[in-house]
Amino acid sequence: MKFFADTAEIAEIRELAATGLLDGVTTNPSLIHKSGRDFLEVVREIAAVVPGPVSAEVVALDYDGMMREAEILRKIGKNITIKVPLTPDGLKVCKALTGDGTMVNVTLCFSAAQALLAAKAGASFISPFVGRHDDVGFDGMALISDIRLIYDNYDFDTEILVASVRHPMHVVEAAKMGADVMTAPPKIIHQLFKHPLTDAGIAGFLKDWEATGQKIG
């Protein structure tokens, strides 16, 4: 499963990229607004750091507006993925852009029916929001399972990009279900390293080593 970071903070992206764990980045207008920086400047900088897909979201809601914004964004680099909403106009844009060789991430997916439409429109990625689904009393991971089944039934090339990840178990469950990608805030990715038995084991090894009085090198 590919790991994308859901952030617009370049320092966090550089830190994760250095670990070799980062396969791409997802951004949105809200994340870039929190950074306090210029939208295009941030996207350009991220695309230069991360060789994998970098999702940059359009803000227009009509077909012509989304296409104009997409044209500006995709000039930033070949790894730019245009992020569009799951609306009729958004899927029309998806079809046009993927037909022209541009990667498209269809976002704000909350049903298997919507995911089916996105795949038929040629989406490179579909972004089901599991955390937001959980927030309103639905099972976000059941949605991932349904999408995986449908996509496998028809051999769709669209990759399932699990979004709105709230905790490490979302990541583990997504991996068990065969999701292609997960995107999470850097703090969630760092939490994947954590386990109390690992910490206890390291502490025990260090205590025993110090008792020997030896040094390496």
- Using alpha carbons, select from 116, 56, 134, 69 the residue that is nearest to residue 96: 69
Rounded to the nearest 5 degrees, what angle is found at the Cα of 164, between the Cα atoms of 159 and 165? 90
Q: Please check whether residue 80 is in contact with residue 58, taking contact to mean a CB–CB distance below 8 angstroms.
A: no
Q: Quick check: is 83 catalytic?
A: yes
Any idea what the Cα angle at residue 183 is, between residues 177 and 184, rounded to 5°?
110
Catalytic site residue from 78, 83, 176, 194: 83
Q: How far is the CA of 209 from the CAs of 146, 198, 200, 204, 214, in angstroms?
A: 50, 16, 14, 9, 7
The two tokens of residue 175 are: 């991996």
Nearest CA to 23 out of 199, 210, 179, 204 is that of: 179
Q: Which residues does the annotation mark as catalytic?
A: 83
